[in-house]
């Protein structure tokens, strides 16, 4: 019997290998398929509210933020960001309204977060250091930024948690995070996820803050001034560490079984590495 090109051939594992499976073995094909699928999941969670946005009545952050580090880890910086961008606009089609001060660039904070985590998960921290320093500098020099928040016991840097994430990024721990994420061990995956998720979410928070204090004055010039933002940043100062820690914890709990299963199935070699 003559075997034609369209007939299935047996793999070493005993499974028939068809022309379709051969095409699907292409890494780019797999990533494109995953990007589309993950974008739909992201869009669905975009319409599920999490934390309210201060000074924007009825506006909420989205539950999809817990997926951002995992998209960066699995899909990488480019495809992870692409899934976020596509998912953001699909979410708008599903009913998630634009946030006014983003001017249509609602995807930007999460996309930068996914890019940062994607690089870190692959052991490439220097691009992330550059991204973090540039974004942090832009935030600090903004005329509406409050550098120090006055509390009853003294002044505290508004960005104390961002500085903590930056120190973590510059430390040897961020270099080890990639190894831990790929280890397949629950304790090490958790350690690696905490590190990259915290760094990623703090970059994301800085980008969102820049849009927040830049967009409002453009929407209604004269109404939003330095005094207005002094009050808002003081309120946000007491809220953002809690919301960021919750997001990190949620990403870790979701990510541990997901990354372990990828390791067991051998899919980590196709996606993460």
Quote the crossing angle between the two packed helices 186-219 and 226-265, to the nearest 10°.
150
Residues near 141 by beta carbon (within 8 Å), at least 6 away in sequence: none
Instruction: Identify the bridge partners of residue 151 per DSSP, sorted by sequence position.
Output: 154
- pLDDT bracket for residue 101 (50, 70, 90): confident
Average pLDDT of the chain to the nearest whole number: 86
The CA-atom distances, in angstroms, between 123 and each of 71, 116, 153, 186, 264 are 16, 11, 41, 19, 21
> For 22-62, how does the pLDDT look when each residue is reduced to its tens digit (9 = 90+)?
434 567 787 888 899 999 999 999 988 877 776 566 667 88
- C-beta of residue 199 within 8 angstroms of C-beta of residue 168: yes
The token duo for 78 is: 């480019």
At 126 the pLDDT is 96
More confidently predicted of 101 and 89: 89
The CA-atom distances, in angstroms, between 118 and each of 15, 58, 128, 177, 200 are 32, 32, 9, 12, 9
> For 89-100, how does the pLDDT look when each residue is reduced to its tens digit (9 = 90+)?
999 898 888 888
């Amino acid at each position: 019997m003559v075997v034609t090109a369209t007939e299935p051939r047996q793999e070493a594992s005993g499974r028939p290998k068809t022309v379709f499976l051969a095409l699907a073995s292409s890494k780019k094909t797999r990533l494109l398929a995953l990007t589309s699928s993950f974008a739909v999941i992201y869009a669905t969670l975009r319409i599920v509210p999490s934390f309210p946005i201060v000074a924007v009545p009825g506006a909420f952050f989205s539950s999809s933020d817990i997926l951002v580090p995992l998209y960066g880890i699995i899909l990488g910086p480019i495809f992870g960001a692409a899934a976020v961008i596509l998912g953001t606009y699909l979410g708008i089609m599903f009913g998630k309204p634009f946030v006014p001060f983003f001017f249509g660039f609602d995807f930007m904070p999460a996309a930068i977060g996914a890019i940062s985590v994607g690089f870190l998960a692959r052991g490439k921290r220097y691009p992330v250091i550059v991204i973090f320093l540039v974004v942090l500098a832009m935030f600090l020099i903004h005329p509406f930024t409050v550098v120090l928040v006055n509390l009853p016991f003294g002044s505290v840097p508004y960005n104390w948690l961002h500085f903590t994430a930056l120190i973590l990024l510059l430390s040897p721990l961020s270099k080890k995070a990639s190894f831990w994420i790929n280890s397949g061990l629950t304790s090490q995956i958790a350690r690696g996820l905490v590190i990259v998720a915290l760094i990623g979410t703090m970059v994301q928070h800085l980008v969102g803050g820049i849009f927040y204090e830049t967009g409002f004055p453009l929407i209604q010039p004269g109404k939003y001034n330095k005094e207005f933002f002094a009050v808002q940043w003081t309120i946000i100062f007491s809220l953002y560490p809690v919301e960021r820690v919750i997001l990190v914890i949620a990403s870790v709990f979701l990510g541990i079984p997901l990354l372990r299963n990828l390791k067991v199935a051998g899919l980590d070699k196709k996606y993460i590495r």
